[in-house]
Copies of this chain bind each other. A is one copy, B any other.
Amino acid sequence: MDDYKVILSEKDIPQDWYNVAADLPFELPPPINPGTGKPLKKGDLSAIFPASLIEQEMSRDRWIGIPDPVREIYRQWRPTPLRRARQLEKFLKTKSRIYFKDESASPTGSHKTNTAVPQAYYNKKAGIKKLSTETGAGQWGAALSYACNAFGLGCRVFMVKVSFHQKPFRKSLMHIWGSEVVASPSNLTESGRKILKRDPHCQGSLGMAISEAVEEAVKDKYTNYALGSVLNHVLLHQTIIGLETKKQLKVFQEKPDYLVACVGGGSNFGGFAFPFVKDKLKNDALSIVAVEPTACPSLTRGAYGYDFGDTSRLTPLLKMFTLGHNFMPAGIHAGGLRYHGCSPLVSALHDNGLIQARSFGQLEVFKAALTFAKTEGIVPAPETSHAVKAAIDIAKRDKKGRCIVICFSGHGFLDLASYDKYLNNELKNYALPLCEIKKALKDLPKF
């Protein structure tokens, strides 16, 4: 057995995704059609998603087969390594054994390709010619561009204007894979034009970009919409992370005591944790830890209720931990964690006490990231660094020699400007006053 990593064979890439909804000991609150106030029907989503993905979104089947053409593309980088952080352990002088599942090994450097590839595949199969999506910092836009290129689909990415100008390099990746990248708000959509008429210098937001991407998908029958987190089918595709991790831990002859992942919309957390939920139901000693920024603390300080997924109230209502769909998080560098809500599946697990949530400010998170980079040699993405920070804290307190497993969702090669700012003392923490949370939660629709 290797000391530092377990890399499985391609035949160990799972044949099926795992649907945690099949094994939950409680009912999942259904999504609601805001027009009718009734549970969403499959047809309600058919203007923007193909039937196969809507089927997965609603499914209660435990296992859902991964199509061969998807596994064929997965093979380019999967299975990803499970690495033991031996140098980090030494540095911390901890008794813990620390592992990390290295999703940074993907073509775009994050876990997002795990769902981008099947989403592109199912849309292509349904005769769709083009996908539209939104992106903030660009991780999701890059991943979907990679996947659309692989299946010969067009792709238009509405990128929040401030990131479009400030974060040029994930945009470069999207261009390399042939996508069109539009600064949002744009003149290409009605909602964009409306916003620009009100404020020609508007710098955009994720909510606005979602509105533009959805509008484009609704109005053209050959264009569909794709989302990179939050929804059930997205987290389903990501379970490949946890399924591989389980096999790899067996090779290391380990059972995890702590599973740690960062959480924004919830996709890397869910994909990593869901395959372990059955173990948690049997063994309460297992801790599944979701880590979020103090600047956007939906799980630790939000309310559990029905809310819209976007600021423009275009999406179905989802029951989730949320700060309110009008909540505008501070400009922290973990752009992927700046989302007002959290996946309904993850939220339900949290509401039922199956997972714990913690939050950290970005200064302590970057400090942990630096420790990781200096010991393990890999520079973590700012989002991923939240999980690293929590794991280091657990390891420091550990007197018993626990097994800690981190979901290492992505590398920071395209986030080095943020590291520069941290090293130059230009960053600060953002704590959220209770009054602001209360104010944001006032916008929650009543259901």
Q: Residues of A at under 8 Å CB distance from B?
A: 2-5, 7, 9-11, 75-77, 83, 87, 105, 107, 109, 146, 149-150, 168-169, 172-173, 175-178, 370, 373-374, 376-379, 413-414, 416-417, 419-420, 423
Residues of B within 8 A of A105 (CB): 105
Question: Provided the pairs A10-B5, A420-B175 are in contact, do residues A377 and B75 lie with their beta carbons within 8 angstroms?
Answer: no
Contact B172 A417 (CB under 8 A): yes
A179 → chain B, closest Cβ, in Å? 11
Q: Which residues of B contact A176 (CB under 8 A)?
A: 370, 373-374, 379, 416, 419, 423
Residue in B75, B83, B172 whose CB lies within 8 Å of A420: B172
Cβ-closest chain B residue relative to A9: B2
Given A4-B10, A168-B416, 4 more pairs with CB closer than 8 A:
A3-B10, A4-B75, A173-B379, A176-B379
Q: Give bound CA distance, A178 to B374, whole Å.
A: 8
Docked CA distance A313–B95 (Å)? 53
Copies in the complex: 2
A83: chain B residues at CB < 8 Å are 76
CA distance A76 to B150 in the complex (A): 30
CB < 8 Å neighbour of A146 from B7, B146, B377, B414: B377
Contact A3 B75 (CB under 8 A): yes
Verify B76–A107 contact, CB threshold 8 A: no
Contacts of A175 in B (CB 8 A): 419-420, 423
CB closest residue in chain B, given A146:
B377
- Which of chain B's residues have a CB closer than 8 A to the CB of A419? 172, 175-176
Q: How far is the CA of A138 from the CA of B282 in the complex (A)?
A: 51
CA distance A7 to B105 in the complex (A): 14
Q: A2-B9, A3-B75, A5-B10 are in contact. Are A420 and B168 (CB under 8 A)?
A: yes
Query: What's the least CB distance linking A149 to chain B, in Å?
Result: 6
Q: Which of B149, B374, B416 contacts A149 (CB 8 A)?
A: B374
Q: Which of B5, B7, B87, B416 contacts A172 (CB 8 A)?
A: B416
A54 CB to closest chain B CB (Å) equals: 28
User: Do residues A2 and B7 form an inter-chain contact, with CB atoms below 8 A?
Assistant: no
Q: What are 25 A-B pairs at a CB distance below 8 A?
A: A2-B10, A2-B75, A3-B10, A3-B75, A5-B75, A76-B376, A76-B377, A77-B377, A105-B105, A150-B377, A168-B416, A168-B417, A169-B413, A172-B417, A172-B420, A172-B423, A173-B416, A175-B419, A175-B420, A176-B373, A176-B374, A176-B419, A176-B423, A177-B374, A413-B413
| Chain B nearest Cβ from A437, distance in angstroms | 34
Output the nearest chain B residue to A107 by Cβ-Cβ distance.
B377
Q: State A305–B339 Cα separation when bound (angstroms).
A: 63
- Interchain nearest-CB distance for A16 vs B (Å): 20
Are A417 and B10 in contact, with the CB atoms below 8 A?
no
Q: How close is A32's CB to chain B, nearest CB, in angstroms?
A: 38
Complex CA gap A216/B378 in Å reads: 30
Q: How far is the CA of A338 from the CA of B4 in the complex (A)?
A: 36
A171 → B minimal CB distance (Å): 8
Question: In whole angstroms, what is the CA distance A198 to B4 when docked?
Answer: 52
Q: Considering the complex of A and B, which 6 residue pairs feature the smallest CB-CB distances, nearest first?
A: A107-B377, A172-B416, A413-B413, A2-B10, A169-B416, A4-B75
Given contacts A178-B374, A370-B176, A374-B178, contact A413 B109 (CB under 8 A): yes
Closest B-chain residue to A105, C-beta based? B105
In the complex, residue of chain B having the shortest beta-carbon distance to the beta carbon of A422: B176
Partner of A2, one of B11, B87, B109, B423: B11
